[in-house]
Amino acid sequence: MATKKKADVDVVAAAAAPAMMPGMPMGMNPMMGQMPMGQMPGMQPGMQGMMPGQGMPMGMNPQMGINPMMQQMNPMMMMMQMMQGMQGMGGYGPTDPAAMPFGGQAKVDTDPGLEAAIVRPSRFEKRIKTQEALPLGNVLDLLCLSDDGKHALGGVPRGCTAVFVGPPGKGKTRTALASLARVAATGKKVAFVVAEEGFHNEDDHGRDDLCSRLCKVGMAATGLDEANFEKKVLENLFVLEAQYHKHNTWDDFVAKYRYLVEKEEIEFVVIDSLNMVDPTKKGTADNLSALKTYNHEKGITCICIGQIKDTGEPVGGEALQHTADVVFLLEEMGLGSKEVAEFWGGKYRDKISILNVVKSVTTPTLQHPVRVDRATTTGELTVHALQPKEYAIPSVK
């Protein structure tokens, strides 16, 4: 009987032993802070069975000595007993969120997930397309060709983003202004992004400002008087000012551009110039890439006027030419020999302006330069009367 009572006492003592949290150092009581095993509550160094600084052996009770059952217990069983003790006491430490009651109705997951970026061309209804043209009424209509390469496309590739680069004072802006007026006169909404100069001077300081030049060039290009030009052209034309002195950044421009395009359902845009929209000129190609992708989504035809360096290379370099859908390059060419001068209808050592289409991702292109001249009425670029016969330009189909 005595042996049975002693065993019962030992079992009760073992159950009363403080439980341990998982990961807790041996001898640490969850109800207390971290403390050395040799310094339990109520125990002073030097107590019986303990030497100063010594830790208490596992299973040692200050009043009862070593528990025989814990001496013989498997370590895994000891851990399970500790965890059961924690559950009985309510547990300590952070609670697993998965074990908490649901705190209300779950939100509907609206994230399209990874599938949104995966396209299945086999499920498209219309896959094969023919490149359409947006007629501008000038030399730019003749540089891209039809699919068979035998005829001029008759306009710039519709829905594409083109760059039109060249030296200053050669007619790029006036060509763009005449193009805007002709497209707007057909009833399409157009936008003109101004980044290089002020558009309109309300105080009338005597300057022939850009607004005035737009009207004069546009009226000459369309043959409309001022009243009809206002009604048929200006009502369809929107101007977005993006000058750097107004503290516009590229991000500011993108926000305003998207707002205008989507609100007014713009179809054709001219940006003068792309380099000045971001005057740091460090991200010109990256900016063009973002702009091009957005224009593709919205079906916008866009011409970005650009500048060239002294070397003749566009600002933005090869990256700019690689990024654009279409590249029109206006250059000056020296007639360095009498034979070359005779071929181009010029004088020896003169300089002439030539226009090349460097690339077009959606159409064949004219494989030779076009000598250009300036129209007397609008100042826009036209095919020079002395364009060599060997470099004849195909007609529009």
Q: Which two tokens stand for residue 143?
A: 């540089």
User: What per-residue confidence (pLDDT) applies to 109?
Assistant: 65
Q: Kindly report, residue by residue over 140-194, the tens digit of the pLDDT.
A: 999 999 999 999 999 999 999 999 999 999 999 999 999 999 999 999 999 999 9
Q: Kindly report, residue by residue over 345-364, the tens digit of the pLDDT.
A: 999 999 999 999 999 999 99
Question: Can you tell me the mean pLDDT for 101-123?
Answer: 74
Task: pLDDT band for 36, please (50, 70, 90 cuts).
Answer: very low
- Is domain 133-391 classified as CATH 3.40.50.2300? no
Share of the chain above pLDDT 70, in %: 74
Q: Kindly report, residue by residue over 329-344, the tens digit of the pLDDT.
A: 999 999 999 999 999 9
User: What per-residue confidence (pLDDT) applies to 107?
Assistant: 60
- Rounded Cα gap, residues 331 and 171, in angstroms: 12
Mean pLDDT over all residues of the chain? 81
> Residue 120 carries which DSSP code?
-
Residue type present at position 338? K
Q: Kindly report, residue by residue over 219-230, the tens digit of the pLDDT.
A: 999 999 999 999
Could you tell me which of 188, 362, 172 has the C-alpha nearest to residue 261?
Answer: 188
Task: pLDDT band for 55, please (50, 70, 90 cuts).
Answer: very low
Question: Can you tell me the mean pLDDT for 106-125?
Answer: 81
User: What per-residue confidence (pLDDT) applies to 86?
Assistant: 63
Q: Kindly report, residue by residue over 88-106, the tens digit of the pLDDT.
A: 555 455 555 555 554 555 5
CA 372 to chain CA centroid, Å, is: 36
Residue type present at position 389? K
Asked whether 346 and 335 are in contact (CB, 8 A), the reply is yes
Share of the chain above pLDDT 90, in %: 54
DSSP assignment of 33-91 equals: ----TT--TT--TT-TT--TTPPPPTTEETTTEE-HHHHHS-HHHHHHHHHHHHHHHT-
**How do the domains of the chain map onto residue ranges?**
133-391
